[in-house]
Amino acid sequence: MAFTNQYLADLYDKVVARNKGEVEFHQAVKEVLESLEPVVEKHPEYIKMGVIDSIVEPERIIKFRVPWVDDSGKVQINRGFRIQFNSAIGPYKGGLRFHPSVYEGIIKFLGFEQIFKNSLTGLPIGGGKGGSDFDPKGKSDMEVMRFCQSFMTELSKHIGADTDVPAGDIGVGGREIGYMFGQYKRLRNEFTGVLTGKGLTYGGSLARTEATGYGLCYFTEAMLNDHGDSFKGKTVVISGSGNVAIYATQKATQLGAKVVALSDSNGYVYDKDGIDLDAVKEIKEVKRGRIKEYADTHPSAEYHEGCSGIWTIPCDIALPCATQNEINEESAKTLVKNGVKAVAEGANMPSTPEAIEVYLNNGVLFGPAKAANAGGVATSALEMSQNSQRLSWTFDEVDAKLKGIMENIYANCAAAAKEYGLEGNYAAGANIAGFKKVADSMLAHGVV
């Protein structure tokens, strides 16, 4: 797609020039600006009042050195980031990613997307993201602890329960959140809800662990139901085998589907009998092992090296839950050729722009990340509410709220797409609906 609105085209060029080499950020901005074209035509005040120019510029970027000592006694240096992108509708909120590929452009793309996602949840949370190029893989618990403590020693100066509330993302789960929470509490002498995804013994919310994967399936089920269909009896392929993939597998199975494949960054397993999730949880959550090990104990399963091959497995529903740009045009075409009916994104920006074109041109129902994976951050916001109330809600209470939120998000995306003449284009609908609430708040606040 090319821009037809000259102002947005020029603004995009400016973003590219100002954020050199940050290709993931460029991609995320382009996708949003393109879908805002009909909105700015109808509402020129967003341009006049600088809302669009402001929304692509982070409010604050924090970048810091993270020194830590490895088990051999050697000092290691990593980079830490926190990008506080937009606080128009609430305190900055978004995860922390620990992965060797992390640099400013990755955190910027994630922080930018988070603005619209958080807005879609209907809850009062702004957009932010952070992380480090630290790789937790192969590190001992004590190394991870020392890294997390050092990371939080700097980060603690910039966050707070009413300012900025980080959570997990790739490479950051319960263990890392625990170490970071402990260090924050020690440094500040405060027991507050400064992080979400906390353990259940110290202020975490029931159902937060499950929330992104469950929410993804609730969104997808709502989208399928709206088109007279459902998960029941469907064959599903899910990439990744981390937090999001595991709980998407669980919920899709509960809804009557058969999940036949999962992956990690080395390869994928295909189990024609359906994935045995208890075995995956044991390998990934308990042993921190590789998905390859699944095939050693499951004769019905095949293991294949490489990640992209997973999209050649015929399926009705594909749920990419690993990382950005994991489905390209070729993989999307293969999915279509094999009869895929729906693709919904558990990961952030897992489909390239060319892949999205393929879905939309072939009548594939497409649930974009900002909408489809918003259940994680929505439940984080519910964790913040419980922390503020000093109360804990039951699993069923949180799960019911999550389901309601995801159904609302689907309805709002569908309605916004229709209002702007793009019926069925939920990617455009998500961008428009997410944008409007933030933009109207920015207008209300004046030039700040």
- Least distance from C-beta 16 to ligand NDP, angstroms? 23
Task: Give the total of residues touching ligand 2IT (CB under 6 A).
Answer: 11
129 a catalytic residue: yes
Question: Rounded to 5 degrees, what angle do the CA atoms 398, 95, 150 make?
Answer: 125
Q: Which residues make beta-bridge pairs with 259?
A: 236
Return the residue of 193, 346, 367, 434 that touches ligand NDP, per CB under 6 A. 346
Q: Which amino acid is at 268?
A: Y
Closest approach, Cβ 27 to ligand NDP, in A, equals: 14
Nearer to ligand 2IT, 34 or 169 (CB): 169
Query: In this complex, which beta carbon is closest to ligand 2IT, that of residue 196 or of residue 334?
Result: 196
Dist. CA 62–CA 410, nearest whole Å: 34
Q: How far is the CB of 167 from ligand 2IT (least distance, A)?
A: 3
Chain center to CA of 436: 20
Which is the catalytic residue, given 117, 129, 251, 258? 129
* Cross-strand partners of 304: 268
Q: What minimum distance in Å lies between the beta carbon of 377 and ligand 2IT?
A: 4
Query: Which positions from 311 through 330 interact with ligand NDP, judged by CB under 6 A?
Result: 321-323
Number of alpha carbons in the 13 Å side-chain half-sphere of residue 447: 6
Q: Which of residues 371-390 bind ligand 2IT (CB under 6 A)?
A: 376-377, 380
Closer residue to ligand NDP in complex, CB, 34/383: 383
Q: Is 243 in the site for ligand NDP (CB under 6 A)?
A: yes
Site for ligand 2IT in 159-218 (CB under 6 A): 167, 169, 196
CA–CA distances in Å: residue 119 to residues 109, 126, 214, 261, 437? 16, 7, 19, 32, 7
> Distance of alpha carbon 315 from its chain centroid, rounded?
23
Beta-sheet strands, E only, within 198-291: 235-238, 258-263, 267-271
Contact 348, 110 (CB under 8 A): yes
Q: Which of the choices ligand NDP, ligand 2IT, none does residue 265 contact, using the CB cut-off of 5 to 8 A by kind?
A: ligand NDP
Contacts (CB under 6 A) with ligand NDP, residues 274-303: none
Q: Which of residues 85-114 bind ligand 2IT (CB under 6 A)?
A: 93-95
Number of residues that bind ligand NDP (CB under 6 A): 24
Residues 206-235 touching ligand NDP, rule: CB under 6 A, are 212
Residues 6+ apart with CB under 8 A from 51: 45, 439, 442, 443
Give the relative orientation of helices 208-226 and 395-419 as an angle to the nearest 10 degrees. Answer: 40
> Which window, 15-23, 151-159, 221-229, 243-251, contacts ligand NDP (CB under 6 A)?
243-251
Minimum CB separation of residue 433 from ligand NDP in Å reads: 18
Are 426 and 368 in contact by the 8 Å Cβ rule? The answer is yes
Question: Of these, 347, 365, 413, 442, which contacts ligand NDP (CB under 6 A)?
Answer: 347
Strand order in the sheet with 317-319: 301-305, 267-271, 258-263, 235-238, 317-319, 342-344, 365-367
194 touching ligand NDP, by CB under 6 A: no
Write out the two tokens for 374: 């918003």
**Which of 209, 348, 352, 441 touches ligand 2IT (CB under 6 A)?**
348
Return phi, psi of residue 367, to 5°.
-100, 105
Q: Which is nearer to ligand NDP, 11 or 83 (CB)?
A: 83
Q: Which of 37, 164, 169, 176 binds ligand NDP (CB under 6 A)?
A: 169
Which residues contribute to the site for ligand 2IT (CB under 6 A)? 93-95, 117, 167, 169, 196, 348, 376-377, 380
Residues noted as catalytic = 129
